Amino acid sequence: MSDLQPVKFYQTGTFTVGNRLLAPEERSVQANMQRTNSLNSGHRACQGCGEALGARYAIDAAMNATNRQLIAANATGCLEVFSTPYPETSWQIPWIHSLFGNAAAVATGLSAAMKVKGKKDVRVVAQGGDGGTTDIGFGCLSGMFERNDDVLYICYDNEAYMNTGVQRSSATPPAARTATTMPLGSEPGAPFGQGKFVPAIAMAHEIPYVATATVADLRDLEAKVTKAMSFRGARYIHILVPCPLGWGTASHDTIRMARLAKETGMFPVFEAEYGELKSALAIRRQLPVEEYLRPQKRFAHLFGKTPAVETIARIQAQADKNIRRYGLMAKEAAL
Amino acid sequence: MKKPFAITLDPGSSLANHTGSWRTSKPVYLDRLPPCNNRCPAGEDIQGWLFHAESGDYEAAWRHLTRDNPFAAIMGRVCYHTCESVCNRAQIDAPVGINSVERFLGDEAIKRGWSFTPPSTESGKKVLVVGAGPSGMSAAYHLRRLGHAVTVMDAGPFMGGMMRFGIPKYRLPRDVLDAEMQRIVAMGVTVKLNSKVDNILDSMRAGAFDAAFLAVGAHIGKRAAIPAGDAAKIVDAISVLRSMEGEDKPMLGRRVVVYGGGNTAVDVARTVKRMGGEPIIVYRRTRDKAPAHDFEIEEALQEGVMIKWLSTIKQAGEHQITVEKMALDDKGFPQPTGEFETLEADSVVLALGQDVDLGLLNGVPGLEVADGVVKVGANMMTGHAGIFAGGDMVPAERNVTVAVGHGKKAARHIDAWLRGASYTAPPKHELAQFEKLNTWYYSDAPKTVRPMLDIIRRQSSFEEVQGGLDESNALFEARRCLSCGNCFECDNCYGVCPDNAVIKLGPGKRFEFNYDYCKGCGVCVAECPCGAIKMEAEEL
Ligand SMILES: Cc1cc2nc3c(=O)[nH]c(=O)nc-3n(C[C@H](O)[C@H](O)[C@H](O)COP(=O)(O)OP(=O)(O)OC[C@H]3O[C@@H](n4cnc5c(N)ncnc54)[C@H](O)[C@@H]3O)c2cc1C
Ligand SMILES: Cc1ncc(C[n+]2csc(CCOP(=O)(O)OP(=O)(O)O)c2C)c(N)n1
Ligand code: SF4
Ligand code: SF4
Ligand SMILES: [Mg+2]
């Protein structure tokens, strides 16, 4: 061991939300006492809701990046329902809801209107759940990408239709049980060989910016939203937001679950520009997928009296594929 | 409110909806007791002073440290730092180098001339302290801070006790020792050197003292009955070490046999080596059974000190001794084997432990002595009201840090006793065990090692063996602390709450829960790195 070690070491580095040892400009948006709290208290999301957290993280960062000149269009889903039951709203930004499947189109319209009015500094985000994004809103979304409309679309992926009682979506992972997947039999839960990974499809549109993130890596999430706002044209960020209700996890485990998804390789965290992969967030302490699956009731059938060894191995193979494809073991995590 | 076109709801109007009513349990902030603090014999708030050091505010760190222990620079050299053996960081990579940061702070204080502030008011009470060793001087410091007039009387010519006349200067340079002693004198403590107290009650009466703290240490070297010829030179370790401080260095010859296996034996042997002699330690048990710390044995071996384990001295002559080999029986005790060996030896130094000279206590009523040490109560008071004692002369582990801790504890009780009250220590917080931490959030950072003096100079000079950390290394080392059980303002709770129910109060002021909106999900508790929040059941 050398006796000279890096001086620039800040105890928790950038792992924590804030760090009193960092210069103010190096701290996160969430650490700021003046953060917007775009999604304010009093909303009706469940205890420990990852989507409520992810939305505040993302929209506060976007507000910060745009000098608070921001409008949001919101698809139907938990985020809309828990935030805005008439006559109350938790939103502290101009916000509009119209339908389940057309958030991307509404945002395109908003962006066009701002252009016509000459308000170049007013930026537009669209946001929705995985159902609203990967299924019913997919046509509008692909159109928005294809036209390269000046919108940042954020998908809060909790891997099912949560607001209507946990139905399967095309983002539900194989073997996860939902209200509409096989309850019993040899292979309960969502089938293997179905579903889609929209970030990859967004990349195929060769839009300026595509990224994935989780609520467990705040600094990474904020950096990506900020970067997205530095581009004009269509941008897409896909955020993994654990749902205690739909996943059957303890309310205090929301961030831990997101961390495990990333550390097992189940959810690859990366960014791409104009269709090309630019960087991936390296796994820091790799874990087998069991660590991620076991705490979730939606996977409980894999861990019965005779554990579903083969199914778990198939899920592990998917994680291994992610690790290979996105280079998740590339290097040691930075300080 | 008049709303613009197409705007139907007020921003943030959900604040009317108090979701706190959903809660069945609630998060509360707390301070847990870091294991290091819990272990420190001087009761230092280690996590607390590291917190200041982490931000580079070394003076605040030193002031915080010296609330409990005035001797940071001494501690950073001679303390056996048991705190590090329980440091939670050990379970991640290696314990925080608490002792090396402490030394850095102590040295920084000396370099920058930081001093203690004398008390703002005088109590009017007079306390006599007997012995200017670590225990006596610690008591003097704390008593003075509490406003009492303190006089320290010591039999010797210098302050420091065994830290000067026992611990060799290659481990504790005398300028460091003097600086930390003088700083206490500068607070207005009277120190009378070359003033042996022969009878404590007489001295108290003569000086009209209201109370006394005795810390005379243990200075009488234990003897062993070794059949020896008239010409054999047999001396005791403490006198050898003490004479190192005077003009006349001890004359021990070339081959010096040191008898014993404790730290004193090791210190004498290393001293002999530095004077050009050839020391050989003879000890009747094995290395793992030796009371000396293993790192000290290791350093001695590196310097070329020879050690004969499992051997006793049977007979000493003018230039040689006879040792008998021992063997461990099945209970692990050494037993004679009848096998003998002759060793060249110009002198034999006995390092077999020390006894307390209790002469000054003759005729004091109420006093209880057992196994050669003075019994004290939980308040450090002897059986005689108003006479307190601590350090090596009372039943406890014998080291500098314990002695310093006794001095502090006694000072608090003396202070209360002088006011006719009794002192109760505040209740201890619950322990911050490793399981309470979320270690994901800490950067990987291996321990910084302290430089060691090169071996040639270690064998031939009395220069300090172990070096200190420089500023950047000390800062790095401080920042390895996990802040176990105590909020270090990482903003995690403020960030991770899905309900914005954490109020950030600003730098140094920590956080508060907004129970109007906290739903009790417990994410903050799970994601607090240092375990400073806990869930409590809500009364329904
Ligand atoms: C060789 C050696 C090495 C050691 N190394 C370490 C070490 O590395 N780390 C560690 O933690 N501990 C070490 N120790 C132990 C440590 O030095 C003692 O535990 C500690 O000094 C005890 O402090 P004290 O205040 O009780 O007594 P002392 O330090 O012994 O001080 C007692 C003082 O009282 C004075 N005195 C005695 N009788 C009278 C009287 N009648 N009137 C007036 N004054 C009197 C003495 O002159 C002396 O100054 C070592 C001990 C020895 C012998
Ligand atoms: C056209 C249409 N079909 C069905 C619904 C009912 N509906 C409302 S929210 C929702 C599910 C939302 O799922 P997702 O987009 O994943 O968001 P989440 O609630 O999981 O955040 C459904 C099916 C609707 N509002 N509109
Ligand atoms: S169902 Fe899931 S996504 Fe919806 S509010 Fe509850 S935790 Fe959040
Ligand atoms: S990490 Fe810090 S607070 Fe925790 S035991 Fe170690 S030194 Fe003490
Ligand atoms: Mg969903």
CA pair distance B490, B481, nearest whole angstrom = 13
Under the banding of pLDDT at 50, 70 and 90, the label for residue B1 is low
Judging contacts by C-beta atoms under 8 Å, the chain A residues touching residue B495 are 16-18, 28, 30-31, 218
CA pair distance A214, A29, nearest whole angstrom = 16
Out of A3, A21, A47, name the one closest to residue B448 (CB). Answer: A3
Of the options 1.10.10.10, 1.10.3720.10, 3.40.50.1370, 3.40.50.970, the CATH number for the domain spanning A36-333: 3.40.50.970
Instruction: Give B363's contacts (C-beta < 8 A, 6+ positions apart).
Output: B199, B201
Lowest mean pLDDT among A58-67, A324-333, B101-110: A324-333
B381 and B290 assigned to the same domain: no
Under the banding of pLDDT at 50, 70 and 90, the label for residue A332 is very low
Instruction: Give B245's contacts (C-beta < 8 A, 6+ positions apart).
Output: B158, B164, B165
| Residue B369 forms part of a structural domain | yes
Per-residue b or e along A135-173, where b marks 16 or more CB atoms closer than 10 Å to that residue's CB: bbbbebbbebbeeebbbbbbbbbbbbbbbeebbbbbbbb
Q: What is the DSSP letter of B116?
A: P
- State which residue of chain A sits closest to B25, comparing Cα positions: A47
pLDDT value, residue A78? 98
- State which residue of chain A sits closest to B53, comparing Cα positions: A21
| Residue B119 forms part of a structural domain | no
Per-residue b or e along A273-306, where b marks 16 or more CB atoms closer than 10 Å to that residue's CB: beeeeeebbbbeeebebbebbebbebbebbeeee
**Cβ–Cβ under 8 Å, residues B406 and B390:** yes
Under the banding of pLDDT at 50, 70 and 90, the label for residue B453 is confident
Indicate which residue's Cα is closest to atom 4 of ligand 1.
Answer: B167
**Cβ–Cβ under 8 Å, residues B31 and B516:** no
**Around B199, how many Cα atoms within 13 Å sit in the side-chain half-sphere?**
8
pLDDT value, residue A317? 98
Under the banding of pLDDT at 50, 70 and 90, the label for residue A227 is very high
The residue that leads in pLDDT, A208 or B476, is A208
- Kindly determine whether residue B526 and residue A255, on different chains, have CB atoms separated by under 8 Å: yes
Q: What are the residues whose beta carbon lies below 5 Å from ligand 5 (ion)?
A: A 129-130, 158, 162
| Residue B239 forms part of a structural domain | yes
Region B444-470: what's the mean pLDDT? 84
Out of A47, A49, A256, name the one closest to residue B520 (CB). Answer: A47
Indicate which residue's Cα is closest to atom 8 of ligand 3.
Answer: A49
Beta strands in B260-305 (DSSP E): 278-282
Instruction: Give B153's contacts (C-beta < 8 A, 6+ positions apart).
Output: B128, B129, B130, B131, B192, B195, B196, B197, B203
How many beta carbons lie within 10 A of that of residue A335, not counting itself? 15
Ligand 3 mean position, distance from CA A252 (Å): 13
Q: Where are the alpha helices (DSSP H) in chain A?
A: 50-65, 78-83, 103-116, 130, 138-146, 198-204, 218-229, 244-247, 254-264, 289-293, 309-326
Out of A18, A19, A48, name the one closest to residue B498 (CB). Answer: A48
Per DSSP, what are the bridge partners of residue B280?
A: B257, B306
A173-223 pLDDT tens trace: 999 999 999 988 888 999 999 999 999 999 999 999 999 999 999 999 999
| Residue B371 forms part of a structural domain | yes
B390 and B267 assigned to the same domain: no
B333 and B267 assigned to the same domain: yes
Region A75-82: what's the mean pLDDT? 98
pLDDT exceeds 90 at position B527: yes
Ligand 3 mean position, distance from CA B393 (Å): 67
Out of B54, B442, B445, name the one closest to residue A21 (CB). Answer: B54
- Kindly determine whether residue B520 and residue A13, on different chains, have CB atoms separated by under 8 Å: no
Average pLDDT in chain A? 94
Ligand 1 mean position, distance from CA B136 (Å): 10
A123-159 pLDDT tens trace: 999 999 999 999 999 999 999 999 999 999 999 999 9
**Lookup: tokens for B353:** 């432990």
Chain A to chain B, count of Cβ pairs less than 8 Å apart? 185
Pairing of β B311-316 and β B320-328: antiparallel
Angle of CA points B289, B295, B300, to nearest 5° = 95
Q: Nearest Cα to B107, choosing from B46, B165, B180, B55?
A: B180
pLDDT value, residue B60? 98
**Lookup: tokens for B310:** 């499992």
B203 and B297 assigned to the same domain: no
pLDDT value, residue B458? 87
Residue B288 belongs to a domain with what CATH number? Answer: 3.50.50.60
B39 and B81 assigned to the same domain: yes
- How many domains is chain B partitioned into structurally? 4
Region B432-460: what's the mean pLDDT? 87
Q: How far is CA A297 from CA A177, A249, B213, B502, in A?
A: 8, 7, 65, 29
pLDDT value, residue B323? 95
Average pLDDT in chain B? 95
**Lookup: tokens for B211:** 């109370």
CA pair distance B336, B327, nearest whole angstrom = 6
CA pair distance B411, B407, nearest whole angstrom = 6
B134 and B183 assigned to the same domain: yes
End-to-end CA distance of chain A: 18
B230 and B275 assigned to the same domain: yes
Token match 């700083």: residue? B183
In chain A, what is the greatest distance between 2 CA atoms, to the nearest angstrom? 65
Q: Is the CB of B197 under 6 A from ligand 1?
A: yes
CA pair distance A25, B256, nearest whole angstrom = 65
CA pair distance B440, A16, nearest whole angstrom = 9
Q: How far is CA B250 from CA A181, A267, B272, B317, B518, in A?
A: 90, 73, 9, 19, 73
Indicate which residue's Cα is closest to atom 2 of ligand 3.
Answer: A243
Instruction: Give A290's contacts (C-beta < 8 A, 6+ positions apart).
Output: A312
Lowest mean pLDDT among A44-48, A306-310, B128-132, B225-229: B225-229
- Best residue among B152, B153, B162 to mutate for probing ligand 1, ranked by most atoms within 8 Å of CB: B162
Rg, chain A, Cα only: 20
**Lookup: tokens for B312:** 């006793």
Ligand 5 mean position, distance from CA A81 (Å): 12
List phi, psi (to 5°) of B445: -160, 100
| Residue B424 forms part of a structural domain | no
Region B344-359: what's the mean pLDDT? 95
CA pair distance A170, B367, nearest whole angstrom = 84
Token match 């004198």: residue? B185
pLDDT exceeds 80 at position A8: no
pLDDT value, residue A331? 57
| Residue B428 forms part of a structural domain | no
| Residue B427 forms part of a structural domain | no
Amino acid at A174: P
- State which residue of chain B sits closest to A12, comparing Cα positions: B442
CA pair distance B431, B411, nearest whole angstrom = 26
Nearest ligand to the CA of A100 is: 2
In terms of residue numbers, what domain contains B165?
Answer: 126-219+356-418
pLDDT value, residue A9? 55
Say what percent of chain B tops pLDDT 70.
100
**Phi-psi region at A165: left, alpha or beta (left = phi > 0; alpha = psi -120 to 50):** left
- Kindly determine whether residue B11 and residue A93, on different chains, have CB atoms separated by under 8 Å: yes
pLDDT value, residue B415? 98
C-alpha distance from A332 to closest chain B C-alpha (Å): 10
Atom of ligand 2 lying closest to residue A158 CA: 20
- State which residue of chain B sits closest to A56, comparing Cα positions: B498
**Cβ–Cβ under 8 Å, residues A280 and A328:** yes
Under the banding of pLDDT at 50, 70 and 90, the label for residue A335 is very low
Residue B496 belongs to a domain with what CATH number? Answer: 3.30.70.20
CA pair distance A134, A129, nearest whole angstrom = 8
CA pair distance B169, B147, nearest whole angstrom = 34
pLDDT exceeds 80 at position A293: yes
- Kindly determine whether residue B443 and residue A10, on different chains, have CB atoms separated by under 8 Å: yes
pLDDT exceeds 70 at position B377: yes
> Could you give the ipTM of this predicted complex?
0.95
Token match 């009488």: residue? B220
Under the banding of pLDDT at 50, 70 and 90, the label for residue A7 is very low
Q: Nearest Cα to A66, choosing from A108, A24, A121?
A: A121
pLDDT exceeds 70 at position B261: yes
pLDDT value, residue A13? 81
For residue A295, cis peptide bond before it (omega within 30 degrees of 0): no
Nearest ligand to the CA of A50 is: 3
Ligand 1 mean position, distance from CA B261 (Å): 19
B264-300 pLDDT tens trace: 999 999 999 999 999 999 999 999 999 999 999 999 9
B254 and B337 assigned to the same domain: yes
- Kindly determine whether residue B473 and residue A4, on different chains, have CB atoms separated by under 8 Å: yes
Residues with CB under 6 A from ligand 2: A 51, 76-79, 100-101, 128-132, 158, 161-164, 169
**Cβ–Cβ under 8 Å, residues B303 and B461:** no
| Residue B268 forms part of a structural domain | yes
Out of A83, A218, A244, name the one closest to residue B495 (CB). Answer: A218
**Lookup: tokens for B468:** 């200190």
Q: How far is CA B338 from CA B327, B332, B437, in A?
A: 10, 18, 57
Atom of ligand 1 lying closest to residue B296 CA: 8
C-alpha distance from B490 to closest chain A C-alpha (Å): 5
CA pair distance B287, B539, nearest whole angstrom = 58
Domain regions of chain A by residue span: 36-333
